[in-house]
Structure formats: structure tokens, C-alpha cells
Copies of this chain bind each other. A is one copy, B any other.
Amino acid sequence: SRSRCSSAREARCQRPHDSEVALAGGTLSDRCLHPPRIVDTMQVTSSVPRKKTRQISVGDVKVGGDAPITIQSMTITKTADVEGTLQQIYALAAAGADIVRCTCNEIEAAEGLAQIVPRSPVPIIADIHHQYKMAMAAMEAGVDGLRLNPGNIRKPEHIKIVAAEAKDRNLPIRIGVNAGSLDPKLYEKYGGATPEAMVESAMTEIAYFDEVGFDLIKISVKASSVPLMVDAYRMLSEVTDHPLHLGVTEAGPPPAGLIKATAGIATLLLEGIGDTIRYSLTADPVQEAKAGRQLLEALGLRERKNIDLIACPSCGRAEVDVIKVANEAMEAFGERKLPLQVAVMGCVVNGPGEARDADIGIAAGNKRGHLFIKGQNVAVVPEDEMVDQLVEWAEFINEHGIDAALERADLDKARREAEKDRAKLLEEQGDDANAAGEKIVEIRRKA
């Protein structure tokens, strides 16, 4: 079994693996506990290639082309409230937002933007609905881009004035089509807010922009219906190479809102569609930014910056309250930015093996916590200390690396202690420790 053992610290060992021990009905001592060589599944990205789009710049943030997919959110303060809005922008940036949008619905908002933009840590986009002059005011205030709703600003001359000004200033515009506020003419033509109607709305706007030679464009075709928005983006992606901004509009509060938004955005991303995303949740927008970050990290589309906690969903086999421990761990990690995959497993028999891809993990059994790093036991600690120890070792890994953490551990001792607990549990739940065959008769009797 040399070929399965991936120990880097000692010569590949000859000891049998768990599986072989189990199959042979043998004892647990002297097994190989080194992880097998594996493909790092954390690095997997889906096999569908990302659709090639043009690249634009929103301030210093690139969108489209080979730029990383970016996360957007929107402030819910009155934009005229400069300090309150900036506070929210800083919180959004800290939570992972690359770009923040603020409404510019009245002149006081534009005045606010003039003070907000120079102090913002991220590029600011002004959201414009009904008044094209608000777009002009926002540009004058120094914003890094605009979002126009083509359903709400429909006079070609107004659209062209805005686009010409954006061209002069080298500012991008998002064409933000929304199923709920589509141009009434398109409703009529298509008998409703169909994917075709939404795509036509976007293409018409592009044509107006083209007349004044403006092409710093990204496009969204959002709807509150997930299947509608998915189909609209799929169709749009076929007919344009402008970068696309993905979102499910009016998704509502979590958890249902989170489910709807994720369903729409993730489906498109995993088909290679989309260059920037926004979760529209009826919640503190910081939750939007966090969700965006979590999704992109989970899909392997952005470099990991935060803990990825994997945890078994608990079951009747668990030796500990996994839900409680997982939540304690999430709380203990809090806002620490550790780019590690952390596993919380309910059972020392299966846990470390199932989570062998994780950078670090704990499994519970026999009232003790087994700490493991890349599948190797590094310590066995009392159950009530295991979350603290997990955080401590994770911080160590983050600072010094996996190899240093393995050097620091007393691996032999940890292995011996871990085997003791596993042996005890396997004794109780072994290959047929409870003589299941004989008891089938008993079940038949009771049923």
C-alpha cells in the first residue's frame, strides 16, 4: 500500500490503511494514518469555461474579461447622509464588497456623493431611475459609474446625453433591466416580462449608446423569478459580449431570499456566465456582501479569504452535538480572516477520513476532541477544550503553515490517543459487534 500513503515527513509507510483493517476484521494498531495522495478538491472549479467578455473598469476595479468575478452591494441609507452612508460603505467593503452602489434619486443625494466618493474605500456607482439629470449630477459628483434603468428613463435624447457625458468622462454604465419595471411597450409587444423582452430592452439601450460611440457597458436582466432571470441571462449571454452583472431582484429576507438569489446566481456562474454579482436581500446589506463572498469562494471563483467550515449535518451516529460545536466554532472564528477549510465532524471513526481534504478539523468521540491537520491526528483534547484548540491551531497554520504545524505536534502520541478512542468505538460498533444476524429474528418478532 506504499502508493496510497502520502507521508512527506517520513518514508512512505507500509502499514495497512483503515479500509484494509476494517475489511480484514483486524485490530487498529499499526495502521497507516497518513492521508492518501489526493487531488485538492478545494481547488476544483467547474469544467464549463467562463464565457469571454470585454473588460471595463469601475474605478480601479476591473469587470469582465479575465478579471475575478466581483461582489457588489448597495447602501440603504439616504445618500444625502454622508457619514451614515460612508459607514455602511466601509462595512460593506470589509465584508467583501468590491463595488458599492448608492441611490442618486434627488439632488441632495448627488451632493452627498460628491463628498462620499473621495472618502470611499471602493468604487461608487450611482443608481439612477427616473431622472436623467440625476445621472448628470452624479457624474459631476465624481462617481465611478452609473446604473440606468432603461424601463424608467426612456427618452432617446436623454439616454444619449447621459451616454455622451459618460463617454467624455470614461465612466462605465450598467444597463439595469428589471422585469418589474420594463418599458411598457415591451410588455405589450411580448405579452409580459419575458426573457426576450428583457434582452430587447438591453439591446435597444446599447443601440442608443452606440449612436454616440459609447461602449463602456455592463448589463443586468434581473427578475424576482429565478427561472425567468436564468433564462434571460442565458439568452443575453448568447447575443452580447459585454460583461454581465447577475442578480435576482427583490429576493426578500433570508433564508428564502438567500436561496432564491443563490439559485439564480450560482446556476449562471457554473455555466460560465457572469462577471459581477449582487445579492438583493431584504436585510442588512453586509449580509449581501458576505453571501457574495461566500458563494464565490465556495465555487472556487475567488481566492479564499475566510474560513470555509464544513461540518457533517449530524445524524444518529454522531458522538457529540455537531450543530452546537459547529456554531461555537463559527463564533470562535468570528471575523478572523483565515483562508482555511475547517471541518467539524461528529464521529472519530469516519470524521478525520471524510474530512481529509480540510486544512484542519476536529472530530468528537469518547468525550474527547480529535484535532487533525490534513487528515493526520495532531492532538487529542478534552471535549470542552476542542473549539479553543481548533482556533489556536488554525491561527498557527495561518501564520506558520501546515508543515510547521505538523512539526509542532507530537504525532505519535496523538495517533496513539486517537486510536484508543476509535478502537473503543469500533469495538462497540464494529463489523458485526452486536451480532446483527441473530437479532434480525428479534426485529421480525417486534415488527
Q: Which residues does A use to contact B, with CB under 8 Å?
A: 3-4, 17, 19, 22-23, 36-42, 44-47, 74-79, 85, 102-103, 105-111, 114-115, 117-118, 127, 129-131, 133-134, 136-137, 140-142, 154-155, 178-181, 183-184, 187-188, 190-195, 223-228, 230-231, 234, 249-260, 262-264, 266-267, 270-271, 280-285, 287-288, 290-291, 294-295, 298-300, 308-318, 322-323, 326-327, 330, 343-344, 350, 353-357, 428-429, 431-432, 434-437, 439-440, 442-444, 446-447
Contact = CB atoms under 8 A, between A and B. Distances in A.
Contact of A316 (B105, B155, B225, B330): B105
A439 B131 CA distance: 14
Contact of A357 (B141, B180, B259, B327): B180
Given A37-B192, A127-B315, 6 more contacts: A44-B228, A131-B431, A133-B436, A252-B326, A253-B327, A254-B255
Contacts of A250: 310-313, 343, 354-355
B41 A192 contact: yes
B38 A187 contact: yes
B298 A46 contact: no
Nearest to A262: B262
Contact of A4 (B17, B188, B318, B322): B188
Contacts of A270: 226-227, 230, 263, 267
Contact of A191 (B38, B191, B262, B298): B38
A316 B75 contact: yes
A266 B270 CA distance: 10
Contacts of A45: 227
A372 to B, nearest CB: 13
Contacts of A267: 266-267, 270-271
B46 A231 contact: yes
Contacts of A350: 129, 181
Contact of A443 (B46, B140, B291): B140
Given A192-B39, A193-B39, A230 B46 contact: yes
Most buried by B among A280, A282, A308: A282
Contacts of A226: 266, 270, 298-299
Contact of A111 (B195, B283, B439): B439
B75 A315 contact: yes
Contacts of A313: 74, 76, 249-251, 280-283, 285, 288
A444 B140 contact: yes
A110 B253 contact: no
Contact of A259 (B36, B106, B193, B294): B294
18 contacts: A23-B154, A23-B155, A36-B184, A36-B188, A38-B187, A44-B225, A79-B316, A107-B436, A107-B439, A131-B432, A141-B443, A141-B447, A226-B266, A250-B310, A250-B355, A252-B311, A256-B309, A263-B266
B103 A447 contact: no
Contacts of A224: 41, 310, 357
A410 to B, nearest CB: 26
Nearest to A301: B227
A39 B295 CA distance: 31
A48 B354 CA distance: 34
A382 to B, nearest CB: 22
A152 to B, nearest CB: 8
Contacts of A314: 76, 282
B256 A294 contact: yes
A345 to B, nearest CB: 8
Contacts of A39: 190-194
